């Protein structure tokens, strides 16, 4: 009796292409837009471990929730390792497991009550970041039988007989080795409003082998780019230089790793906004523009006739007033020879500044108009 494998958190790629993210992004016209598309699972790493990127190991836990212990593991290169000395020659995995997909564990010696527990078959694919597991519970009794408890297979084995814990997975990534660089491709598409994604225009094709193909209209093709080391870093973000309003639309990043079964799509709704207005440059000091020459509120301009009262013009020259800020004469510079004191006094009065006189303009107005 077999059961489906339970996939780990990173083993979600078996499904067909699915949207894993969708977002609305806005960039100003004339700037560079960057549409982020990153996935560490798309990083292309050659097999420097000589095909040790796939491994199967069996673990045993006595009771549910207890920490299990490693029994045996085997890499796809065929190396098998048994952890407990008592299990040497007692536990066996098929050497052809990574060719025929049969990862079942055989307990060759007579089983005992100490062998009871939950056995877990674990498959790891380090290159594809995949993890799958299958649990089987072993019971030792005098009445052998098998049944399914709703979560896992339960094998009830007769005491003193061998036991075979079944674990079969014939998915191609566990049994075959493909040329990974021919199995990875990323492409960017662009949809105009109202166009479904399956009829989108292709912009770029990127292959792990280094090949690249560009499509789309020339006005956009010359302004889009993806880093040349995209497959080394897992970063396939699209850059669009000098954004234009015509660049608006739906952009999608498609990640395909056929060998690992990864098919993901990330969708971006690109909006192009008006460019930000630059603030006016501050006026240079000293050119007169720093002061506002326009009169403020409450002030009258000089083109209005001053001094109008009751419709009668007033000649303001009649009320000239000597102010104290007039420059005084320097009498010491004038050297005159006066015949008597009267002449000298008259000359001093003629050259001396008159004292400032306080004039009541309202009073003078009344004198002028009340005659």
Domains of the chain: 11-46+178-273 (2.60.40.10), 54-175 (2.60.40.10), 316-369 (no CATH)
Greater confidence, 237 or 314? Answer: 237
318: phi then psi, degrees, rounded to nearest 5 = -70, -15
Query: Taking a C-beta distance cutoff of 8 angstroms, is the pair 166, 146 a contact?
Result: no
How far is Cα 121 from Cα 153, in angstroms, rounded to an integer?
A: 12
Query: Taking a C-beta distance cutoff of 8 angstroms, is the pair 216, 188 a contact?
Result: no
CA-CA-CA-CA dihedral for 225, 229, 235, 236, to nearest 10: 30
**Looking at residue 38, what DSSP letter applies?**
B
* pLDDT score for 105: 93
* pLDDT score for 140: 85
State the pTM of this model.
0.54
- Mapped onto helix, strand or coil, the DSSP state of residue 41 is helix
Q: Which one, of 120, 122, 118, lies nearest residue 154 by Cα?
A: 118
Lowest mean pLDDT among 258-267, 282-291, 360-369: 282-291
- Mapped onto helix, strand or coil, the DSSP state of residue 19 is strand
How far is Cα 264 from Cα 351, in angstroms, rounded to an integer?
A: 104
Question: b/e per residue, 12-50, with b = 16+ CB within 10 A?
Answer: ebeeeeeeeeeeeeebeeeeebebebebebbbbeeeeee
**pLDDT higher than 50, residue 91:** yes
State what percent of residues in the chain have pLDDT above 90: 22
* pLDDT score for 182: 61
Q: Which tens digits make up the pLDDT trace of 298-349? A: 444 444 444 443 444 444 444 444 444 444 444 444 455 555 566 666 666 6
**pLDDT higher than 80, residue 290:** no
* pLDDT score for 254: 94
Residues 11-25: what's their mean pLDDT?
63
Cα 143 to the chain's mean position, in Å? 61
Grade residue 50 by pLDDT with cuts at 50, 70 and 90: low
Q: What angle do CA 297, 300, 303 make, to 5 degrees?
A: 140
Strands (E) in 241-328, as ranges, are 249-257, 262-273
* pLDDT score for 174: 76
- Mapped onto helix, strand or coil, the DSSP state of residue 26 is strand
DSSP string, 156-190: EEETTS-EEE--B---HHHH----GGGTEEEEEEE
* pLDDT score for 218: 82
Residues 153-174: what's their mean pLDDT?
77
**pLDDT higher than 80, residue 17:** no
How far is Cα 307 from Cα 322, in angstroms, rounded to an integer?
A: 20
Q: What is the mean pLDDT of the chain?
A: 74
Greater confidence, 114 or 359? Answer: 114
Q: Which tens digits make up the pLDDT trace of 238-273? A: 999 988 888 888 999 999 988 788 889 999 999 988
* pLDDT score for 283: 63
How far is Cα 168 from Cα 172, in angstroms, rounded to an integer?
A: 12
Lowest mean pLDDT among 83-92, 120-129, 211-220, 281-290: 281-290
Residue bearing tokens 């608006």: 248
How far is Cα 55 from Cα 73, in angstroms, rounded to an integer?
A: 7
Query: And the tokens for 68?
Result: 């299990």
Residue bearing tokens 């806005």: 26
């Amino acid at each position: 009796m077999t059961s489906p494998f339970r996939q780990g958190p990173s083993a979600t790629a078996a499904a067909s292409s699915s949207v894993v993210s969708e977002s609305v992004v806005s960039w100003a016209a004339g700037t560079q837009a960057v549409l982020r598309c990153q996935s560490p699972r798309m990083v292309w790493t050659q097999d420097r471990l000589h095909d040790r990127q796939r491994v199967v190991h069996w673990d045993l836990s006595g009771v549910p929730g207890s920490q299990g212990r490693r029994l045996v593991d085997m890499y796809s290169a065929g190396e098998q390792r048994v952890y407990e000395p008592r299990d040497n020659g007692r536990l066996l995995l098929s050497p052809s497991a990574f060719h025929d997909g049969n990862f079942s564990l055989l307990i060759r010696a007579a089983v005992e009550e100490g062998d009871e527990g939950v056995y877990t078959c674990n498959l790891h694919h380090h290159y594809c970041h995949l993890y799958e597991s299958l649990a089987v519970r072993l019971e030792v009794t005098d009445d052998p039988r098998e049944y399914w408890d709703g979560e896992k297979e339960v094998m009830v084995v007769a005491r003193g007989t061998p036991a075979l814990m079944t674990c079969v997975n014939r998915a191609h990534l566990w049994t075959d080795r493909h040329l990974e660089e021919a199995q990875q491709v990323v492409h960017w598409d662009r949809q105009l409003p109202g166009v479904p994604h399956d009829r989108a225009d292709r912009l770029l094709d990127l292959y792990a082998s280094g090949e690249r193909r560009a499509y789309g209209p020339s006005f956009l093709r010359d302004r889009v780019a993806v880093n040349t080391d995209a497959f080394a870093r897992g970063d396939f973000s699209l850059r669009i230089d000098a954004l234009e309003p015509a660049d608006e639309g739906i952009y999608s990043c498609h990640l395909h790793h056929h060998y690992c079964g990864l098919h993901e799509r990330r969708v971006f709704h690109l909006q192009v906004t008006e460019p930000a207005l630059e603030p006016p440059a501050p006026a240079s000091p000293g050119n007169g523009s720093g002061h506002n020459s326009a009169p403020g509120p409450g002030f009258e301009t000089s083109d209005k006739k001053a001094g109008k009262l009751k419709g009668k013009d007033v000649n303001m020259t009649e009320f000239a007033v000597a102010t104290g800020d007039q420059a005084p004469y320097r009498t010491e510079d004038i050297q005159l020879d006066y015949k008597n004191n009267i002449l000298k006094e008259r000359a001093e009065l003629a050259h001396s500044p008159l004292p400032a006189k306080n004039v009541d303009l309202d009073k003078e107005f009344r004198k002028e108009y009340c005659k």
